[in-house]
Structure 1
Amino acid sequence: MLKGHQTWVFESKPAIIGSAAIGGPFEAKGNLAADFDLLHGDIWLGQDSFEKAEQKLQEQACETAIKKANMKKEDVQFLFSGDLINQIRPSSFSARTLSVPYFGLYGACSTSMEGLSLASLVVDSQFAQNALVCVSSHNAASEKQFRYPTEYGSQKPPTAQWTVTGAGAALVSSKGDGPRVTAATIGRVIDMGLTDPFNMGSAMAPAAVDTIEAHFRDLGRDPGYYDVITTGDLGRVGHRIAGDLLQKHGLDIPEEIFTDCGVLIYKQDQPIVMAGGSGCGCCAVTTFGHFLNRMRKGELRRILVIATGALLSPMSFQQKESIPCIAHAVSIEI
């Protein structure tokens, strides 16, 4: 059911009956290592390219989420999947392995909540009983495509963020127990004219604020409804900007419940983290690992996850375009 201008309310409250988080060696040294189902010691994952390694991350995340739900891949009706690589190659190739009906998505780093919104929509509308979401990123593959290959050894400013090597998956079902997806606010593309690809947090913060405001306006809620409100990967710079903008707009979210996946995932003293984590996998592994684990333990009852994405490409940057951004919010309750 559409409520307000841009929020879906899922009357059946589809359940997340299985979820998984797979990470790499840098994630194993971070704050949330205990919340991963599998951590790899090598970013190559035994493959001969970074793109193949990312594909394997997705395959492992899907397999783990399905297994934890006590299901088989034949029980999954649809797969919603995306990543950052050209033509979402890791997602399409992992979908080839899974061999179920597939929707390929690209919302940059907002893809995890875009996928969870759409999977919940098809389950809530009874077009499927089980739908799987899987999203990934790989640090070296993303650096090679969007910036400079890691081997080049280029220096970065403090506003830059570290792309997460990881994949997160969630199996959404019309039956079963688990955290429930209750609503999703679909974001608009917001472009404030910023052009620096090493300052994504600043570019994405206005889109996050726009979606947060729409969510509370459409549903008539206030921030106190949630135990946690988290953005996807604004990092420390963008998170501060988002907080300032929300206050200026009259929406004051208490610091103790307002956080960011890119701030949480790494330790501040980890080398080369700079402003925090980013990438499709950042919000995916933090939500489908850390936050859902906390919900299942009874530590959290209601969370709002706002995944943020910068919709630039290497070509748009070379043509001196500004960076359009988007954010999608999903309400999860137990």
Structure 2
Amino acid sequence: MNNEQKKVGKQTVKLQNPPKIICTTSIVGPKEGDGPLKDYFDIILRDDTNGKESFEKAESSMMYTAIKETIKKAKLEEKDIDYLLAGDLLNQLASSSFAARDMNIPFIGLYGACSTMAESLGLASLLMDGGYAKYVIAATSSHFSSAERQFRFPLEYGAQRSEVAQWTVTGAGSILLSNEGDNPYVTYVTTGIVKDYGIKDASNMGAAMAPAAVDTIYRHFQDTGRTPDDYDIIATGDLGLVGKEITQKLLLEYGYDIKDVYIDCGAVIYDNERQKTNSGASGCGCSAVVTCGYLYKKMLKGEIGKLLLVSTGALMSTTTSLQGETIPGIAHAVAIEYS
């Protein structure tokens, strides 16, 4: 199969040698460990500092542990891993870079905001399909406290949260790809286009990201000829309750009804009413831990055969927000199957 045959449609690649997801690790904080999906996470921290002296160091330690545990599960060593693709929300990818400095693995840092799990997994899959690696790890992380004080307000300020606000997940997820094994495998990668519909409210991430999710899902269907009926689950990253509703409505206008197979990772990780998380969850760690924990384990049990993961990200910064800029959105999709 040549490159023209691998590329289907405008934005999608069909993998000739679908890489297998042979191991995953999910680590979450206490709040996430008290939510509906607690039984699916590998490690639940007792406190969100993880014994470190800052939230930023705690986040980096979560990513480091997730990666190391994934390698350990596969009975491999660091020297066996060809590439580490990882990203987070902090300035200059601090969590990922500082985790990588303690590992002897070639590192590619990525920033796709909260879309980074699908971005890293998609790029890792392309490396594997191209024959450039035997083992690749895709990872990402976020932390409520580090994200709050970078993007919003100092925690001590005690700012009131709006009804459309989301709670950044404290968590890290790691996925190991190989060409061997009888495991769930990646079949398609659809790369998203940046969409901006003029949202300026930094609290309303769901509304800012939903148009990008809609565009990528629509493009995936158009490129592949698939429909919602071809998937057991379509999971967006962290649109929350507000963004999820917008996405469903907009896709209906394109002729796609996804409600019977659609979940949003940000809408399911918390008990929003009991845990007071308003519209749900956000953050790089959101789709990461739900995918590495809940969705992957459901696939291994045979309860999910075909999954379309669509991680979503708001491409804002503290600088652009202060300058009155709007919030662009991005979404990347990865099809994962297991039969």
Counterparts of 1:174 and 1:121, CA distance in 2 = 12
1:280 aligns with 2:284: yes
| Number of residue pairs the alignment of both structures matches | 333
Match of 2:174 in 1: 169
Match of 1:114 in 2: 119
Match of 1:306 in 2: 310
Equivalence map 1:136-147=2 (5 Å): 136-147=141-152
Shift in Å at residue 269 of structure 1? 2.5
Counterparts of 1:177 and 1:171, CA distance in 2 = 14
Match of 1:291 in 2: 295
Counterparts of 2:45 and 2:148, CA distance in 1 = 19
Unaligned residue ranges in structure 2 (runs of 5+): 1-5
1:52 to 57, 60, 76: 57
For residues 97-140 of structure 1, the C-alpha deviation after alignment (integer angstroms, 9 at most, x for no partner) is 12210000000000000000010111110000110011000000
For residues 171-218 of structure 1, the C-alpha deviation after alignment (integer angstroms, 9 at most, x for no partner) is 011112211011110000000011000000001000000000000000
Amino acid aligned to 2:181: G
1:184 aligns with 2:156: no
2:74 to 44, 69, 78: 69
Match of 1:157 in 2: 162
1:210 aligns with 2:210: no
Match of 1:228 in 2: 233
For residues 214-243 of structure 1, the C-alpha deviation after alignment (integer angstroms, 9 at most, x for no partner) is 000000111100000010000000000000
Shift in Å at residue 276 of structure 1? 0.2
1:197 to 188, 191, 202: 202
Amino acid aligned to 1:321: E
Amino acid aligned to 2:78: K
Counterparts of 1:70 and 1:293, CA distance in 2 = 19
Counterparts of 1:239 and 1:195, CA distance in 2 = 19
Counterparts of 1:84 and 1:272, CA distance in 2 = 23
Counterparts of 1:104 and 1:207, CA distance in 2 = 22
For residues 275-326 of structure 1, the C-alpha deviation after alignment (integer angstroms, 9 at most, x for no partner) is 0010000000001111000000111110001000000000000000000110
Worse-matched range after superposition: 137-146 or 261-270: 261-270
Match of 2:110 in 1: 105
RMSD (CA atoms): 0.8
Q: SS of 2:199's equivalent?
A: coil
1:219 to 218, 224, 240: 224
Q: SS of 1:316's equivalent?
A: helix
What's the % identity of the aligned pairs?
48
Counterparts of 1:311 and 1:260, CA distance in 2 = 19
Match of 2:45 in 1: 40
Equivalence map 1:79-90=2 (5 Å): 79-90=84-95
Match of 1:95 in 2: 100
Q: SS of 1:43's equivalent?
A: coil
Counterparts of 2:120 and 2:274, CA distance in 1 = 30
Unaligned residue ranges in structure 1 (runs of 5+): none
Q: Retained in 2: the 8 A contact 1:30–1:270?
A: no
Amino acid aligned to 1:326: I
Counterparts of 2:272 and 2:143, CA distance in 1 = 20
Q: Retained in 2: the 8 A contact 1:162–1:272?
A: no
Counterparts of 1:282 and 1:93, CA distance in 2 = 21
Q: SS of 2:272's equivalent?
A: coil
- Scaled by the length of structure 2, what TM-score is found? 0.97
Shift in Å at residue 72 of structure 1? 1.5
